A and B are shown apart, each in its own frame.
Chain A
Amino acid sequence: MSLGELAAAAGLRVLAAGRWPESAADTEVPALPGFMASSFSPLAAEAARRCLDAQPSGPGAGPPVTAVVVASALGDLAGAVRVARAVDGGERLGPLLFFQAVPNAVAGHLAARRNLTGPVVCVGDARSGVEVAEALLADGDAGLALLVLVEQSAVPGGTDRAAAVLLAPGAAR
């Protein structure tokens, strides 16, 4: 099921959505300053940017508290493989790999850029991400939840993908 279908099944409204790649024109995910050696964080940032830019503008009462939930089955696979190879080969690691080691880092990037002050949570699959978002909204920890799904290709040469949805509590809740 897509993120939108999972969200609908959980009784949530999808206010906006974005993904990468979206069309044949998406050949190279835009670089993200400060992040290196892996597409993981750039993918998350680009899908989230497209999602948030597609959000219909509200009445101007200020942004609601928005949670950031990142879901990924393999996490930053390219980064993890690079670190493992460097460790096994006795190479020195660059300091930037330090904060990239957890998916929270790009969530923090998004939160800082867009003033998203809700909880930051990372989980291992899309369904868990939707369930966590639903609970955060139901419990009032956030008024909206940005859910970003990131999947790098497990094999060399495959396509890396990311999708993002901005979720709100369902109308009937």
Chain B
Amino acid sequence: MTDTVPAAVRRGPRSVVVGGMGVLSAFGRGVGPLLGAALEGRAAFGPVGRFEVAGRRVDRAAAHPGRPLLETELDRAIGAACTAAGLSGARRADCPLYLAVHGDPALARAAPERRAGHSVGAFAAAVARRAGLSGGGRAYTSGCTASADAVADAASAVARGRVERVVVAAGYLVDADQFAVFDAGGALARDGRVRPFSAGRTGLLLGDGVAAVVVEAADAARARGAGPLAVLAGWGRAGDAYHVCRPRPDGAGLARAIGAALHRGGVGPERVGYVNAHGAGTVLGDRAEAAALLRAFGPAGARVPVSSTKSVHGQALEAGALLELVVTVAALRVGRLPVNAGLLGPDPDCPLNLVRGPAAPGPPPGGYALSLSTAFGGANTALLVGVA
């Protein structure tokens, strides 16, 4: 497993763009507050008030105030994305929804005879119905790569001419059950901060994320007079074949995912001006990701600016990849780089060009940005976006 580009990787001929975006994060609703925090490196972590955390080892997360409901916030985000993309009701009607969620939040506490009605597919179908998206629904549940899978499959279907556009949405709101299992697994940062690629990092923290984007054929967007936000130039996925939950130390799986995304985009590493890394803030994960970047990029891997926006908005699990794609597209559009917040000092095992402060210059004109995600089971994804 030494090559970084699977020989057979190909794509359909149509160019794919990202249309409107809608988002909720710990910073509030809308892209603006999220982007502002990412560019300033202003983290949202604080004590969890949404549920009882007494007895847990860690009591921090990046949560939106109050108790937002997943269904309501998904409806809002999808509505915002469709409105921003200028999609009429008629155009929404034949548009499928690809939805990344952990599951129906009501399933685990439903009476046994009612559980069958709380399948993740039924949950996705209900979201699609409320949004007026009657072109079918599909649910993705692959943990932290789920929403990248949804974007990649949407891009593939659009590029192949299977469909004009897909609404991709994802949602995770910090909840007692996931918080408990992450806490029990010792995965949460003991010092209450996410410090990707930093010396002294102690783990991840969960964060709210609900996001929606319109993935559309460039010619279809042009034909209806819509201005795209970014080109979805490439996408790649590969597995580690290594462990149930640990990353492959040499980063070979993630490197192949990166290679596939660059290959599909026809883009060399030197044209990538920014990488929004998975960067969970875990010791092993960050080290493996640094190895993957150096493996996939060659000498350019030590030069390309890298940050993990999880350092400000936390880990939104199934919604994380889409939340980070939204940040990446927004940063690309303003030509500035999100900060890798929480740095205490360099880790020699992560020799990357980290974005250390808000004064950093932006990606070069015409440049591309990569957004990376990894998940349990050795799942790796890479999404490549360029200026529209």
Interface residues of A (CB under 8 A from B): 34, 65, 67-68, 70, 72-75, 77, 80-81, 83-84, 86-88, 90, 92-95, 97-99, 101-109, 111-112, 114-125, 128, 131-132, 135-136, 138-141, 143, 154-156
Interface residues of B in 225-264 (CB under 8 A from A): 236-245, 253, 256-257, 260
Let me know if B377 and A107 touch, CB within 8 A: yes
Contact B107 A77 (CB under 8 A): yes
Q: How many residues of B contact A (CB 8 A)?
A: 67
Interface of A is mostly: mixed
Q: Give residues in B with beta carbon < 8 Å to A.
A: 1, 6-12, 55, 102-103, 107-109, 112-113, 115-116, 118-121, 124, 138-143, 145-146, 149, 153, 156-157, 160, 176-178, 180-187, 236-245, 253, 256-257, 260, 375-379, 381
Task: Give Cα distance in the complex from A140 to B149, angstroms.
Answer: 15
Q: Which of A67, A112, A154 contacts B242 (CB 8 A)?
A: A112
What are 27 pairs between A and B in contact, CB < 8 Å? A34-B244, A70-B142, A72-B141, A74-B115, A74-B116, A83-B177, A84-B109, A93-B184, A97-B185, A101-B178, A102-B143, A105-B244, A106-B377, A107-B377, A108-B244, A108-B245, A108-B377, A111-B239, A111-B241, A112-B242, A117-B238, A117-B256, A118-B237, A128-B121, A132-B153, A139-B10, A155-B113
Least CB separation from B54: chain A residue: A90
- What is the CB-to-nearest-CB distance from A117 to chain B, in angstroms, rounded to a whole number? 5
Min Cβ gap B105→A in Å is 10
Provide the bound-state CA to CA distance between A156 and B157, in Å.
39
On chain A, the residues within 8 Å of B187 by CB distance are: 98
Q: A-B contact count, CB below 8 Å?
A: 217
Shortest B334–chain A CB gap in Å is 32
Decide if B178 touches A112 in the complex (CB within 8 Å). Answer: no
Q: Is the CB of A99 within 8 A of B244?
A: yes
Q: Whole-angstrom distance between the alpha carbons of A79 and B239 in the complex?
A: 25
| CB <8 Å contact, A104 and B113 | no
Q: Let me know if A108 and B376 touch, CB within 8 A.
A: yes
Q: A105 — which chain B residues lie within 8 A by C-beta?
A: 244-245, 376-377
Minimal beta-carbon separation of B142 from chain A (angstroms)? 4
Closest A residue by C-beta to B114: A154
Contact between chains at A125 and B9 (CB < 8 Å)? no
